[in-house]
């Protein structure tokens, strides 16, 4: 899908479809008004069949005085369009467009004033929402959907300015990174193994000239990554620790992104119940988001340094499996009593976070489908944000808002640490039922004391269940926006 910015007027645009907005009050946006004038009131007549509620659509054909083959009217709801309504309207437009036999479309929704957002914001969200709606994952179906969408180009009718061109480049690359994360998440666990993730990193390294290191089991043994190895111990899949580096700003300290890469989480000996266990293929969504964000930043040649660190393995039961009660020594030297083998994410992350410290990052952000408890707390709307640094928390919060990939701050007070007490080791790997996502974060906090660190618990936001089961690609848009803003880009 190609997006371009061009100066166009709605009535003369030679496109398969022209998309314009209508308010719930049946008022026209300026582009709709021009079309209506050119078509001698044809739009006004058609409005009887359109509610104008956000996301409602009506398709008109061959209007007199209009060059485009089709006109798609999209409801915008109340005047003073909100950010959410703008995004809903874009998604509705994209869903309607993908059913049409139109090769190109001019999206006249992009020039709307959305609060105090600059036009670049509109451009970014237009590209991301449309690409999101057009994403497909059918590579494992023998009967591909017979009619792939005809749509090949979306024109954003704006006057081309450097600032908008930058926004477009950023959005295209972010959409590519998000699609990569979604596909990695959607791939089944018999295909998307730790080795597959390492191969994928290799491909990225080749395509974007990135530096890549992959630590194998023997390397982890030599280093003393006892926690990561304990999780990987019963799997026939070789564990990998992937380190992918993009340098777009020589000399600057990097942003480290650490992503949980459990390619399947059975729970281990503390076995999970059978229902919906298939969804534990999404337990590598943090890893997918890291690879997606690195791809996006490298793809747009962003002036940032970023290091993606991905501990990848599979959590299986078996004769070699870690037992509840086992005590392991982490890379940091601290010991952990593993009381529940299903609390494995924190075990692979603690070693990966200690490893990331070697790169002397400016800040480190880990991304993990860490706890069911965060789904209870925040549902599927907000990602849980934990941080040991106020400024970093504020930056992530602002980036999340900007990317409409929202987070909600959770506490990380020392008071929670006592829940991790162990009689036999420096700490236990679980803290009991109360505040499950906070104690998980508190565990990680013991390994990041020397760094400015934030933790994103994406267990509720990385994928959808039910009929629409599939990866969302979150929080790639947030990570990209954060890295850019952190480097001073608006
Ligand atoms: N990957 C899961 C978290 C998860 C569970 C995400 C369900 C989304 C839906 C994680 O490894 C896990 O099993 N966490 C346990 C921790 C518990 C044993 C302390 C959990 O949340 O139940
Ligand atoms: Mn688990
Ligand atoms: Zn897990």
Report the atom number in ligand 1 closest to the C-alpha of 270: 18
Structure tokens at 11: 């009535």
- Give buried/exposed letters for 208-231 (b at 16+ CB in 10 A, else e): eebebebbebeebeebbbbbbbbb
Closest CA to 217 of 200, 231, 199: 231
Please state, in angstroms and rounded to a whole number, the distance separating the CA atoms of residues 239 and 281: 16
**Tens-level pLDDT at each residue, the chain (490 residues):** 999 999 999 999 999 999 999 999 999 999 999 999 999 999 999 999 999 999 999 999 999 999 999 999 999 999 989 999 999 999 999 999 999 999 999 999 999 999 999 999 999 999 999 999 999 999 999 987 666 889 999 999 999 999 999 999 999 999 999 999 999 999 999 999 999 999 999 999 999 999 999 999 999 999 999 999 999 999 999 999 999 999 999 999 999 999 999 999 999 999 999 999 999 999 999 999 999 999 999 999 999 999 999 999 999 999 999 999 999 999 999 999 999 999 999 999 999 999 999 999 999 999 999 999 999 999 999 999 999 999 999 999 999 999 999 999 999 999 999 999 999 999 999 999 999 999 999 999 999 999 999 999 999 999 999 999 999 999 999 999 999 999 998 8
Q: What's the gap in Å between 369 CA and the centre of ligand 1?
A: 8
Q: Which two tokens stand for residue 283?
A: 């337990």
Q: What is the DSSP string of 417-442?
A: GGGG--SSSSEES---STTHHHHHHH
| Token digits of residue 301 | 């040649």
Rounded Cα distance between 460 and 132, Å, is 18
Model pLDDT for residues 444-473, shown as the tens digit of each residue: 999 999 999 999 999 999 999 999 999 999
Catalytic residues: 272, 346
- Which ligand 1 atom minimizes the distance to the CA of 373? 21
Ligand at shortest distance from the CA of 372: 1
**404-439 pLDDT, tens digit each:** 999 999 999 999 999 999 999 999 999 999 999 999
The Cα 307–Cα 64 span in angstroms is 56
- Check residue 148 and give its pLDDT: 81
Which residue from 486, 451, 246, 483 is spatially nearest to 361, judged by alpha carbons?
451
User: For residue 160, which phi and psi values (nearest 5 degrees)?
Assistant: -65, 115
Ligand 1, residues at Cβ distance < 6 Å: 265, 283, 340, 342-345, 369, 371-373, 375, 430, 436, 459
Of 432, 142, 178, 135, the residue nearest 299 (C-alpha)? 178
What distance in Å separates the CA atoms of residue 306 and residue 398, rounded to the nearest whole number? 19
Tell me the whole-structure pTM to 2 decimals: 0.98
CB atoms within 10 A of CB 334: 17
């Amino acid at each position: 899908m190609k997006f371009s910015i061009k100066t166009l007027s709605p009535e003369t645009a030679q496109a398969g479809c022209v998309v314009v907005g209508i308010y719930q009050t049946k008022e026209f946006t300026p582009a709709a008004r021009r079309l209506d004038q050119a078509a001698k009131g044809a739009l006004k007549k058609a409005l009887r069949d359109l509610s104008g509620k956000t996301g409602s659509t009506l398709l008109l054909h061959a209007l007199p005085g209009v060059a485009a083959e089709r006109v798609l009217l999209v409801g915008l709801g109340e005047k003073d369009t909100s950010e959410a309504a703008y995004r809903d309207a874009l998604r509705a437009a994209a869903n309607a467009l993908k059913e049409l036999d139109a090769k190109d479309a001019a999206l006249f929704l992009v020039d709307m004033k959305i609060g105090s957002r600059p036009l670049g914001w509109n451009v970014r969200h237009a590209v991301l929402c449309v690409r999101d709606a057009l994403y497909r994952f059918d590579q494992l179906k023998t009967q591909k959907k017979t009619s792939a969408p005809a749509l090949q180009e979306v024109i954003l009718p704006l006057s081309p300015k450097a600032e908008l061109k930058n926004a477009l480049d950023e959005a295209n690359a972010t959409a590519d990174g998000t699609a990569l994360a979604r596909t990695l998440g959607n791939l089944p666990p018999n295909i998307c193994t730790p080795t597959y993730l390492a191969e994928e990193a290799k491909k990225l390294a080749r395509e974007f000239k990135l530096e890549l290191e992959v630590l194998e089991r023997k390397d982890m043994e030599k280093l003393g990554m006892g926690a990561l190895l304990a999780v990987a111990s019963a799997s026939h899949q070789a564990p990998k620790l992937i380190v992918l580096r993009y340098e777009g700003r020589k000399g600057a300290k990097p942003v480290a992104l650490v992503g949980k890469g459990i390619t399947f989480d059975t729970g281990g000996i503390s076995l999970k119940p059978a229902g919906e266990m298939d969804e534990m293929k999404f337990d590598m969504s943090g890893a997918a988001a890291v690879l997606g964000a690195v791809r996006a930043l490298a793809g747009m040649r962003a002036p940032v340094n970023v290091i993606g660190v991905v501990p990848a393995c599979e959590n299986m039961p078996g004769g070699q499996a870690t037992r509840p009660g086992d005590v392991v020594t982490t890379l940091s030297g601290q010991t952990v009593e593993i009381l529940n083998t299903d609390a494995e994410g924190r075990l692979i992350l603690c070693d990966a976070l200690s490893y990331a410290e070697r790169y002397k990052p400016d800040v480190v952000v880990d991304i993990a489908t860490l706890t069911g408890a965060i789904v209870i707390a925040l549902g599927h709307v907000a990602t849980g944000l934990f941080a040991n640094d106020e400024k970093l928390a504020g930056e992530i919060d602002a980036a999340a808002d900007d990317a409409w990939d929202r987070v909600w701050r959770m506490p990380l007070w020392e008071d929670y640490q006592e829940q991790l007490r162990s009689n036999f080791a420096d700490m236990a790997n679980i803290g009991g039922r109360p505040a499950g996502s906070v104690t998980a974060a508190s565990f990680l906090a013991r390994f990041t004391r020397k760094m400015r660190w934030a933790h994103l618990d994406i267990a509720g936001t990385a994928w959808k269940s039910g009929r629409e089961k599939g990866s969302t690609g979150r929080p790639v848009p947030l990570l990209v926006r954060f890295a850019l803003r952190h480097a001073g880009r608006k």
